[in-house]
Structure 1
Amino acid sequence: MSTLKSKAIFTIQKGKLENFKDIATQCINCVKQKDKSTLKYDWYFSDNLCIVDEEFSDSEAMLSHMQNLGNLPLNLTEIATFNLEIYGSPTSELMNALKALNPTVFNFYKGL
């Protein structure tokens, strides 16, 4: 399984939802313009919670995605707490890049 999926889960501070959505829009526009191998980039909201559901062709695509976004994700973490889950088998290079985010990695077992 070379594709990678990730789920970023944000809990947004009170009164910061519109600011968060403005930054989210900037992220989406950036991905539309710059990413070539992002297969899925969906944002979901429920009250002060946000889930970003992503899929990449491989670890290199996720690294490229991170570089393309630049500091935008840091702007989000200034107004929200953040948790990251990775589904698949990320390369050691990607894991080193994600180290500060302390992601939970779920390795693929089996399925349909």
Structure 2
Amino acid sequence: MSLVKPLQLIAHFTIHPGKTDEFKKIVSQCIEVVEAKEAGAGTLQYDWHFNADQSECKVIEAYRNSEAVLEHAANIGPYLGQFFEISTFSGEVFGPASESLKKALEGMDIKYYEFESGL
């Protein structure tokens, strides 16, 4: 029996000094967009976590498939550039990322991991 796993992502942002409030405003806008356009559809999880001094943020995300990630990227695209101006980004993708998703994320600091086994 093969497991059908969602495509999972972890986005990591190191926020530039003095930019946390601005970063959090953009986070709020992204959450509003995702709730309005994606919740209950292809987005299964979209959780933002900050470290104790709020200099780093990790976003734990899960999507039905690569197409849902591409839809998400289109929806929040206007905000990504704002994040990149005030933070340093890296990410990880867990699961079967399509070639179109890999191409869309080309040039970004992303590592890909394929599912091997588990529950």
For Structure 1 versus Structure 2, the TM-score category normalised by the shorter chain is over 0.9
Structure 2 residue 27 is the aligned partner of structure 1 residue 37: no
Structure 2 residue 87 is the aligned partner of structure 1 residue 84: no
Q: Report the identity percentage.
A: 39
| TM-score, scaled relative to structure 2 | 0.90
1:102, CA displacement in angstroms? 3.5
Distance in 1 (CA, whole Å) between partners of 2:69 and 2:27 is 18
Which entry has the higher C-alpha Rg, 1 or 2? Answer: 2
Structure 1 residue identity aligned to 2:29: Q
1:2, CA displacement in angstroms? 5.0
Task: Report the equivalent of 2:14.
Answer: 11
Unaligned 5+ runs, structure 1:
none
Structure 2 residue identity aligned to 1:9: H
Q: What number of residue pairs does the alignment pair up?
A: 112
1:70, CA displacement in angstroms? 2.0
Distance in 1 (CA, whole Å) between partners of 2:10 and 2:56 is 13
| TM-score, scaled relative to structure 1 | 0.96
Change (3 A) 1:102 1:14: closer
Structure 2 residue 72 is the aligned partner of structure 1 residue 65: yes
- The worse-fitting range, judged by mean Cα deviation, of 9-18 and 67-76 is 67-76
